[in-house]
Amino acid sequence: MSEVFDTYSRKPTIYYIFSRIILLPLILLFIGWWIDLKISSEYYPYFISLLVLGLIGTIVGIILPATNLVKMYIVDGQLILSPESVIVRSTILSSKNIKKIEIKAYSYVGSRSIDGSGNTIEITTKSNEIVGCRFVIKSKDQREKLYLIIQQWASDSIDVNL
């Protein structure tokens, strides 16, 4: 039994744009409240226009990743996990040469993060070489298979930290 995950090392520029746009309505509301912006003010139409654009950007920033029209990560390889070995991009590590595995796998598509990113794995070999990456869990079933592989590693006396 093995499982294949996409790995990524960076997120696209559009991810950072949307993450800043989401803050725009909150910042504008705070500024409007702080300076006590009135309807009669000459800046009020500009304020409302920016607020509406920020809200539209927020909605678009939530919908695009949820529909998978825009990937919020750039795939740069694969992570293949099996009870016998771990393949990170092109580095093959036998379970006999692994001293410790630290995994932070909390999100999958449809859970905490919309796109399933935000998971990391860090492997320490017996020669103290550290290999790690960020990876994407695409479904709840894939996460369950990951946990089965982790249980197998733990039964094979590999130090696994979740």
If one compares 100 and 66, the residue with the highest pLDDT of the two is 100
| Distance in angstroms (rounded) separating the CA atoms of residues 41 and 57 | 25
**Which is nearest to 117 in space by CA: 75, 57, 85?**
75
**What pTM was computed for the model?**
0.73
- Looking at every residue in the chain, the average pLDDT score rounds to 84
Share of the chain above pLDDT 70, in %: 93
For the segment 3-10, the average pLDDT, to the nearest whole number, is: 90
pLDDT tens for 19-56 read 787 787 878 777 777 777 666 677 778 778 878 888 88
For tokens 């696209």, name the residue. Answer: 12
Dihedral sign (CA 145, 151, 157, 158): positive
Q: Which helix (H) or strand (E) is 88 found in, with range?
A: strand 85-88
The amino acid sitting at 160 is V
Q: Which of 45-54, 89-98, 133-142, 150-159 is least confident?
A: 45-54
User: What pLDDT does 120 receive?
Assistant: 93
16's tokens: 């950072």
Domain ranges of the chain: 3-9+75-161, 11-66
pLDDT computed for residue 64 by the predictor: 76
Query: Vertex 77, ends 158 and 64: CA angle to 5°?
Result: 115
For residue 114, the model assigns a pLDDT of 65
Least confident of 13-17, 86-90, 133-137: 13-17
Q: Domain 3-9+75-161 - what CATH class?
A: mainly beta
Distance CA 66, CA 93 (A): 34
Angle between the N-to-C axes of helices 44-66 and 24-34, in degrees from 0 to 180, rounded to the nearest 10: 160
Q: H helices of 22-139, where? A: 24-34, 44-66
Could you read off the pLDDT of 72-125 as tens digits, one per residue? Answer: 788 899 999 998 999 998 889 998 899 999 999 888 777 655 677 889 999 999
At 111 the pLDDT is 66
What is the distance between the alpha carbons of residues 162 and 150, in angstroms, rounded to a whole number? Answer: 9
* Integer CA distances (angstroms), 83 to 94, 95, 148, 158, in order: 9, 7, 9, 10
